[in-house]
Every structure is written in C-alpha cells, then in structure tokens.
A = this chain, B = another copy of it.
C-alpha cells in the first residue's frame, strides 16, 4: 500500500465533532425566502408566517425539529415544533404580532428515542428477541435532561418498566413526544437564518391621492398653503383615500430655476420645480415659507389622522444649487474639471436646477447620516410614509442602510420606491427594503399585457418582496391612453388599479379628466411641476363619486387589500379582463370583470378550476352578488353571461357566494 496517503493533522481537525455533525442534516427549498436569505421576505403584522422546508439526513433515523424565530435584536428565540408533511417536507407557522425586523431559522436533530421506539415496534411485530432493545430504550430515557413536569412522566415509565418488565410503559406516544424535545441532541443543526420584514397593514393596502400643496388655494393666483390643504382633507377623506401624498414641500432654489413647461429660464413669478430642493430659506428639513409653518404641518398631520388618513412626503435626495449643503459640505458634491458643479442629467436630458450629492464620496458617512436625519426629522413631525424620488439613480447600499436605520427607530415607516427603470433594478430596490414600488401598470393597457405583468409580480419569488403600487398617472406621466380624455377610460383605469393592486394612486386632476399633453409626449401640458394650478374640484364631469364607490368597496372587502391573492378568470372576450381575489382568512372573495375598450360587451365569465375556501374545504362559487347594485345571479356550468357598458360602468365587481 505504498501509493496511499497517510492521515494528516489537517484531516483530523477538519472533522471535529461539531463540524461533521453540523453537515449531516440538510435544509433545502426553504420557503419563504429571497435569494437564499440574502434579502428579507415581507409580511404583515398579525398574520401567520407559514414556513416550509425539506429537512433530512442520511440513514433511516427519525428527525425532530422546530422553527425558531425572534425580532432580530432580541436575545431569546421563540420556537414551535416542525410538523412532518410528506417526502421529507416539514412545516411550521408563527405569527409576528408587531411590525419590525425578524429572523427565523429551522433547527433539527436526530430523534433517538423516537427512532428506537419505531424500530422496537417493527422488531416486535417481526417476533424478534427484544431484551437488548429494551435495555437500550431504558438507557435512552435515563439520558433525558428532563424538566420538572417531564421528569414525572419519564420516571413513571422507567419505574413501571422495571416493576413489570412490560414494554408498554416505554412505548407510550405521549412519552415519545415528551422525550423528543428533551433528549440529548448531539447533532442539533441550524439552517441559514432567514430575515423577515414585518410591516403594518398600510404597507400592503392603501389608496393614495397625490397633490401639490401650493395648488390648493381656493383663490386664483394665490400660493396654496398647508392651511388650504387642511381645509381640503375632509372632502378627500370622504372619497375614501387613505394616503395624502405631497411632492417636496421645501424651499425651492433660484439658480437655474425652471419656468413654465420646463422652460430653461424662469419668469420672475415662476415658483420653480419643488424638486429643486433648498434655498436661502433652508434645505430638506425646512418648509417652503409660502406653505406655512411646522405648526401648520403638524396640525395637518393631526387633521389627517382624525380623518383616518396619513400624510406621505416625498424624499428626494437632490439639491438645488442654492441648497445650504453646497456651502456647508462642498465635499458631498461632484465638481467638474472647470470647477463648476455637475448637474443632474440623464443624457440627453439635463436637470440644470438640481445637483445630486455623491453618495459614494469620501465623506459619505456624514452625508448618509444627514439624509437619514432628514427622514427622521419629518418622522418626528408625524410622517410615517415616504415616497422616494428616483432611488434607482442612487447607490444601492445607501437604501438598504437608510431604510434599516429608519425602521430601527420606527418599524411602522413605509418607503415607496419611485423607480421607473429596468425591471431587475426595480426588483432589486424592493429587495433592499422598499415597502412598496411603482410599477409599469401606468403603461400596461391590453389584456395580454396586464395578465402577464400581474402574473410576473404576483408570482414567486416576486410576491415575497415586491409590493406594487399602481398609479394611474403621475405629475411626470400623462399616458397616451388618457390623452383623448374619455371618461370611461379614466374609470376603467382607476377600477383596474384599485382592484388588481391593493396599493394604488391617483395624481390630482385625474378625477377631473385632465388630459392635455405636451404634444407628442406623455407629459402634462402646463405641468404643475413648474407652475401653480387652481382647480374647481367639483367641476362637472368629475369622477369623484365613481372613485369613492370603488374605495368604499375596497375598504369593505379584505380580499381587495391584497395583491398576490390574484387569480385570473377565463373570459371569452379579449377586451374584458376577469379575476378573483380571496381574503387571507377565506371569509370573503371578490370577482371582477373590467372592460378595456369602449362600447357595450356581452361575454361569459367562467370560474374554470378556481375554487374558494381554505385548503381542505375548497368550494365552487355558486353565485355572484353585484357589489354596487346588490343584484344576485347564480352561476350555471361554472360561469355566467354578463354585459358591460363602458359608459355606464366599465367595471363589474361581485361578492362570491359559495
């Protein structure tokens, strides 16, 4: 045996007890998880988190295990036993009660006593001699480190066995269960520790209304104020909106200020873009003086709260060249070879009125902290929702850090990612911590486009971390399909947004069928980004009542307060989209049919294979109850014939009766 290598010390140490034991039990296909645990899964407080995994080891021995979980900064783990499903798959459930960062992991070990018991029963059935086996079982019992309660059960079993020599006391099922969690576990093995972000319910469901505070004055030509906003809160709340969202409300720079319709030169009275943040009056933690005072702002927050609404603020990292930070911290910015500032750009587009701090500058520790402090400053004024402007143009690591820092202070804070960019970047931002994300919905109009996009973002793994927020329009986007200004289309789009997605948003003016574009572009003419607008909020032809009706239905039906519960339904018409959503508790289900084209359409809505109810008690839908008219109709052959007249109402919404 001369060719043979001899044992080396390296081998001996590499296979120490803990090391080899740790590798013997495998955890695979752990659900839920994102990228193997690199990023957190998202869930809602108070709802069960179901965890599944393949757990196995070599050999025929039985395993036992538990699911361990805790808030990430707590010391003590909670645990609940793993239950065996089939084919080496196990599961367990826990319910995080409050928002925060959590971690969970699976733990497993060889169940020596359970294995002994199973083998003993097999051997006894085969008529084998069992004297050695009995002794072995008794010995295993003696090795248990029992709790006081368990000690009684175990001692009784040993004593009875010793007294009677009957094997019955050793084989009781409750004894096996007691011993399973207390016996020595030399091969106890942990899985990867998986992160989980638990949010409050608003992160998953909310109707957003976006408006420019400076446009809220009832008097034409006057700069709107926060007090004007306060006056509007009751009517907005009455429309059923949950979130009132403002573009930036900070001082606006004068250098290179933009004029009306994005003109390079501003007129003397032009207010400038609110995204050109910062001027002599202050920066990100100041209020634009014409809007009012911090006291006004806190009053607004309070009035919203009284009306069950919340304020969402814009968090836009960029600065006007007049922002105080340029003088206080020139090291935070990029300077060109000629000593001038590098303005923001997306070639060939230029944004001469703003500059971006360099998030990877040498002094980034102070810059990042300052930006975090801006968020915490507004949080201290009562703001718990931030819509983040263009996060995809800032360094990824900044967002993971910022959101973590803020949510460590208050896990109820919600961040919405305003990234309209490449799909993988949008998903990466959601993975990094954004609670919600803008989407391509704004441009998805055909049945095929809507179906495939919704299937993508409600499928795995996207549904675990990506929460869509469907905006029908934004100050930046006046989509082509709205530009003809047809009211049925506005209704169809808001019905789609509000029912397909549990988070959706409307930028003010939409409800008034505003639709005039910069010719040939998906931009609004006379954009509010560059000028103050005054509107008659009750202008004839507005669709406020329609939106209010949908918002009322959304609030009354928990099925519409989720997105990933979406299942499409077959409809024999390419211009009508159908789907059903079921609440997490299976108590409520809503079906919808929404037309994507003008005119009147008759069609069959089918339920196909779709059944409603908890696993094990799934039922066919028997009838539909119209959520607006209350009319009931029974299903025949799994479907029903329906008519939509787009002008009357492009959407039919039903409660499902089983």
Contacts and interface: CB of A to CB of B under 8 A. Distances in A.
A1 B125 CA distance: 76
A360 B135 contact: no
A348 B126 contact: yes
A396 B337 contact: no
Contacts of A150: none
Contacts of A5: 369, 372-373, 376, 405, 409
Contacts of A4: 373, 376-377, 380
A15 B369 contact: no
A59 B372 CA distance: 21
Contact of A285 (B1, B57, B122, B132): B1
Interface string A328-362: 00000000111010000111101000000000101
A87 B6 CA distance: 52
B87 A424 contact: yes
B122 A365 contact: no
A220 interface: no
A632 interface: no
A648 interface: no
Contacts of A35: 28, 36
Interface residues of A, number: 79
Given A380-B3, A409-B5, A57 B11 contact: no
Given A28-B424, A126-B348, A15 B380 contact: no
Nearest to A59: B393
A21 B88 contact: no
A347 B348 CA distance: 76
Interface in A371-423: 372-373, 376-377, 379-380, 391-398, 400-401, 405, 409, 422-423
Contact of A1 (B88, B132, B373): B373
A331 to B, nearest CB: 14
A60 interface: yes
Contacts of A60: 346, 393
A206 B372 CA distance: 63
A297 B391 CA distance: 70
A434 B230 CA distance: 71
Interface string A284-313: 010000000000000000000000000000
Interface string A500-512: 0000000000000
A56 B424 contact: yes
A366 interface: yes
Interface in A474-490: none
Contacts of A397: 15, 19-20, 23-24
A244 to B, nearest CB: 23
A372 B8 CA distance: 12
B123 A347 contact: yes
A572 interface: no
A136 interface: yes
Given A5-B376, A35-B36, 18 more contacts: A1-B377, A3-B379, A5-B373, A6-B369, A7-B365, A7-B366, A11-B368, A20-B364, A23-B397, A23-B400, A26-B396, A28-B424, A36-B36, A58-B396, A87-B424, A88-B425, A128-B350, A132-B336
